[in-house]
Amino acid sequence: IQRKEWTIHQATPYMLWSARTPEAREFSSVLISTLKDSEPFWYHLGQAILSGTRGDHKHAQKELEAARLKHPIAYNFTHNYSNIPVEICQWLYLESGDGRYKEQALRFARTLQGKMPFHTQLYSVIALYSNDQEERVRNAAMAMRLDPRSASLASVPEEMMEAAGQWLRENEPFGD
């Protein structure tokens, strides 16, 4: 397995999220423009952040979907940044309250979970946002089983964690 080295592109979403002031928007636009042709995944994520933080949620959703289609997971699932789109959706949801970001976070998490079943955050997001109670409990249980002290579990309600503990007592997700 070839390992791609960490690049500045992986820091782009964090830089953009930190630079949400009107004064920083010009810098942000320039930074994103450098990624358009060479790094389409990061370009679309950057555009989603810029659009979402400016209140253009429809365009942000379009950019998130474009990023999903250009996601590096399609050809290499060893990268540790693969769950960044889920995180961005959560940021935008928490800042705006727009439920479309919650739904997009769920779409990303469900898709990525099949390719990266070891990422606790993906299970935690589903446990937080799914409307299906069984799915929520099972995913909270999986997150607990993978990493009981995970920071991503901190937002999962206590009663959900109790139900997940009960699920784990009755089921062994990884076999005997």
pLDDT per position as a tens digit, 42-82: 888 988 998 998 899 999 999 999 988 887 765 454 455 67
Between 119 and 133, where is the model more confident?
133
The whole-number pLDDT of residue 173 equals: 81
**Which structure tokens are listed for 89?**
């959706």
Give the chain's length: 176
Average pLDDT value for residue range 151-170: 93
Rg of the Cα trace of the chain?
17
Residue identified by tokens 């990266």 is 116
Q: How far apart are CA 160 and CA 31, in angstroms?
A: 41
**Which structure tokens are listed for 157?**
């309600």
Note if the pTM is more than 0.85: no
* Residue 31 clears pLDDT 50, i.e. is over it: yes
pLDDT per position as a tens digit, 76-101: 544 556 788 899 999 999 999 999 99
Reported confidence tier of residue 125, pLDDT bands at 50, 70, 90 = very high
* 46 contacts 35 by C-beta, under 8 angstroms: yes
